[in-house]
Amino acid sequence: MAAKGTVVIDRNRCKGCELCVYHCPQHVLKLDETYNTRGYRPVILDERSGQCTGCAVCAVVCPDVVFTVYRFPQPVRTPAVRAVAN
Ligand code: SF4
Ligand code: SF4
């Protein structure tokens, strides 16, 4: 499925509360297996990241301003998905 959007995740701001994981309508978010500099497992896009619509629900529910949301003018096959470097 071609992605309509993507998110950039500032992993060191995340406290792993999973609010965004619960509310993402496309179910494309999960907690990472590794820890951030604050000792939390931060959220990451999972293998279904191509289904992200850029709806921004994650950014609305996140209490810690972790997400930057992008919507593509046209659906793309390979979204530019990355996390902000530590
Ligand atoms: S923008 Fe929407 S579909 Fe994409 S990760 Fe956030 S809540 Fe999920
Ligand atoms: S809602 Fe924000 S702080 Fe909570 S897990 Fe998601 S990105 Fe991290």
pTM for this prediction = 0.87
**Residue 6 CA: which ligand 1 atom is closest?**
4
| Topology given in CATH for the domain delimited by 3-76 | Alpha-Beta Plaits (3.30.70)
pLDDT in tens, the chain (86 residues): 677 999 999 999 999 999 999 999 999 999 999 999 999 999 999 999 899 999 999 999 999 999 999 999 887 776 555 555 44
**Residue 16 CA: which ligand 2 atom is closest?**
5
CB of 13 sitting under 6 A from ligand 2: no
For the chain, domain boundaries? 3-76
pLDDT at 80: 53
One-letter amino acid for residue 69 of the chain: V
DSSP 40-82: ---EEE-TTGGG-----HHHHH-TT--EEEEEEEEEESS----
Spacing, Cα 53 to ligand 2 middle (Å): 18
Spacing, Cα 75 to ligand 2 middle (Å): 26
